[in-house]
Chains A and B, each alone.
Chain A
Amino acid sequence: MKTIPLEAFLAVSMILFGLGVIGIIARRNLVTVLMSLELALNAVNIALVGADHHLGLAEGQIFALFIIALAATEAAVGLGIIIAIFRLKKVESTDEISELRG
């Protein structure tokens, strides 16, 4: 049954997570920042499901379901914030929002 090694899942998960982190840092558009965040969440799901496949447990898949639900919430709230920022300030780039800089 265990034809796919755990390290393969881990490698794919880490590469996707790193791409997501680089996207969060390097992207300017607010919506694409959120999309990179979705990519990072997906990478964590791959790691959880891969560990499940290796260990023969079912807990990781349940946590993956919780992560999917939280990602839906995060997308709703994040996109609402982005729309509110755009309506109030008419900006869509991350470096134009610098009111919190001391």
Chain B
Amino acid sequence: MGKLIIFGFFSLMAILSGIGIITLKNPVYVIVALLSSLIAVAGIFFTAGAELVGALQLLIYAVAIAIFYIIVISAVPWQKAKKSETHHRFEGLISLPVVLLLYIEMIVVFLLGVKASPEGEIAKLIEKIGNAEVIGAILFSKYFLAFEVVSLVLLVGMIGAVLIGRKESQTYEDDTT
């Protein structure tokens, strides 16, 4: 019961911050709302017993990514964004029924999928030796290839971000011919 109350508190906080993300005008306030939502989601992970994912959520999302957004906001002058209209109000209203349809589809797909999937035996193992150990053991045995591919994706993303974001101080001429 206590767990349910904590879960309700964190989910209420996440939803209120989510409403803040899509309604607030100033981009800096939006970042603060995003940070609050990310921390609340980390709290939901902790109540669900996923300590490793919650800790990484706090480390990677709430520290690294949110600070990255703050740096970008402060590096780019947004004077025009504050003056002009910040929302597509008409398009937002039109998209509401589409989102409702999306909700129904998600309910059907998720409940059917969970019904069809097998009950795992890993919960007992987690109770015995801890969450992070189990995740690490499965990640580095069964999903090791995926783990390596994710590292490759991170490398490619880093190279792409540097290439896209760099300043062209001089134009290079094609001297291969």
Contacts and interface: CB of A to CB of B under 8 A. Distances in A.
Judge: A and B partners, yes or no: yes
Secondary structure of the A side of the interface? helix
Interface in B1-56: 1, 3-4, 7, 11, 14-15, 18-19, 21-22, 27, 30-31, 34, 37-38, 41, 44-45, 47-50, 52-53, 56
A7 B164 CA distance: 42
A98 to B, nearest CB: 13
A16 B18 contact: yes
B87 to A, nearest CB: 5
A24 to B, nearest CB: 9
A48 to B, nearest CB: 9
Interface string A1-25: 1011010111010111111111101
Nearest to B15: A15
A95 B88 CA distance: 9
B92 A64 contact: no
Interface in B45-98: 45, 47-50, 52-53, 56-57, 60-61, 64-65, 68-69, 72-73, 75-76, 78, 80-81, 84-89, 91-92, 95-96
A84 B21 CA distance: 24
A71 B61 contact: yes
A86 B34 contact: no
A68 B18 contact: no
